[in-house]
Amino acid sequence: MSNVNIRTHPKYSNVYISGPPHNLKLYSKNLVPGNKVYGEKLITFKGEEYREWDPYRSKLAAMILEKPSVDFLSNELKCLYLGASSGTTISHLSDIVYNGIIYGVEFAERSMRQLIQNTKNRKNIVPILGDANFPEKYANSVFTNIDLVYQDIAQPNQAQIAIANCSYYLKDKGTLILAIKSQSIDSVQKPEKIYIQEKKILEKAGYKISESFNIHKYAANHIILIVHK
């Protein structure tokens, strides 16, 4: 039994917290008890196992700590995850959307091998080896409507990739969460100029940016946008 007092987050579905409001720690309830993905702490509390969710390793966790105004999570969420990498954030999403499904698109074969290994017991994750620049090429692997597109891709055309995938997969009034890494777009320009540029691309394509979060203290030169179609 842990001496950590874990409680339900008052706002975000299936997210758990401990500690005082000014120094919260995040957790997800482990869908695969006993299983770690990236060396995270496992804590048992009142007979349930929780995985500590590190905001320095997961930009989605960092965004949640910045307190978005809406709850974009649910246990039946259908999510397209672009840039799934080796499985850190997508595994926490798997805990949260335990009755839903997450299609994890990853381009790098090495990362894909790690993703498959790390999530092989998580039946709500569908790993897809693919290039997010060409969303139509993995259409045969995505067999439900998509409520949420989550993108964390270090490419120069981050906004264009998001638009292409949302146009192809995201349902009307669906949500896009886009992590923008300025250094991957232009390493010389000031990050603030890059963020403005990417926002304009999204708005010109007809998307509405509802919130913007600076997460520099967790991930250098990054912001996260919550966008609606």
Same-domain check for residues 73 and 112: yes
pTM: 0.95
**DSSP string for 91-159:** HHHHHHTTTSEEEEEE--HHHHHHHHHHHTT-TTEEEEE--TT-GGGGGGG--S-EEEEEEE---TTHH
Q: Nearest to residue 51, comparing CAs of 76, 88, 21?
A: 88
* CATH for 135: 3.40.50.150
Same-domain check for residues 47 and 72: no
Tokens of 100: 């839903």
Tokens of 60: 């989605």
Q: Rounded to the nearest 5°, which phi and psi values hold at 60?
A: -65, -40
Does residue 1 lie within any of the structural domains? Answer: no
- Bridge partners, residue 177, by sequence: 150, 226
Same-domain check for residues 112 and 144: yes
Which residues, in sequence order, are CB contacts of 155 under 8 Å at separation 6+? 132, 133, 161, 184
From 18, 37, 55, the end of a domain falls on: 55
Does residue 82 lie within any of the structural domains? Answer: yes
pLDDT at 2: 64
Same-domain check for residues 190 and 78: yes
Same-domain check for residues 51 and 108: no
The strands making up 42-45's β-sheet, listed across from edge to edge, are 7-8, 16-18, 25-29, 48-53, 42-45
Does residue 102 lie within any of the structural domains? Answer: yes
Same-domain check for residues 67 and 35: no
Domain count, the chain: 2
Same-domain check for residues 90 and 24: no
Torsion of CA 219, 50, 177, 173, to 10 degrees: -170
pLDDT at 229: 85
Q: What is the pLDDT along the chain (229 residues), one digit of tens a residue?
A: 467 899 999 999 999 999 999 999 999 999 999 999 999 999 999 999 999 999 999 999 999 999 999 999 999 999 999 999 999 999 999 999 999 999 999 999 999 999 999 999 999 999 999 999 999 999 999 999 999 999 999 999 999 999 999 999 999 999 999 999 988 898 888 888 999 999 999 999 999 999 999 999 999 999 999 999 8
Same-domain check for residues 49 and 69: no
* Structural domain harbouring 170: 60-228
Measured in whole angstroms, the distance separating CA 79 from the mean position of its chain's CA atoms is 9
Same-domain check for residues 149 and 219: yes
Same-domain check for residues 50 and 66: no
pLDDT at 186: 87
